[in-house]
Amino acid sequence: MERITNRAKQVERKPMTFLESIYLVAIVKGLMITLKHFFMKKATINYPEEKRPFSPVFRGLHVLNRDEEGRENCTACGLCALACPAEAITMEAAERLPGEENKYREEKYAAKYEINMLRCIFCGFCEEACPKDAVYLSQTVAPASFNRKNFIYTKEDLLIPHPKSAE
């Protein structure tokens, strides 16, 4: 059979010497690697006492933002729900009633805003799609739970606290 390239090499199969047959050199090399790793810094951390620092680009739980006066930034445009590849965001729009100018910035607001965190892949597309900077992903880790209902966050769970009522 003719070779396509000249990269192939003929392997020489010579018999092993006595020193090679008792594998003494290989055992010493393995022990040297073990000793080298014995004195290296350990990769594990003691979790409850020490916490691993997150990457600066870490994406955690979603947060719905408010403006300086405490009004909701979300105008229920639905771009975040459209941008979500996992279809984890559900929202329903409603019109602002007279006298609710102190609660909502625009005439339209999100009456229902839910994120299913079991479906969310934390891609950040919702944050990028929002024209009003109403939704962003924080540095908070999602808490563990045994109940599936605890992973569906409503608008009340996602809104940051009102700045004037927190004082």
The answer to whether 109 is annotated as binding is no
**Does 162 carry a binding-site annotation?**
no
Q: Is 126 annotated as a binding residue?
A: yes
120 is in an annotated binding site: yes
154 marked among binding-site residues: no
Alpha carbons 120 and 127: distance in angstroms, whole number: 13
Is 80 annotated as a binding-site member? yes
Binding residues: 74, 77, 80, 84, 120, 123, 126, 130
Binding residues for [4Fe-4S] cluster: 74, 77, 80, 84, 120, 123, 126, 130
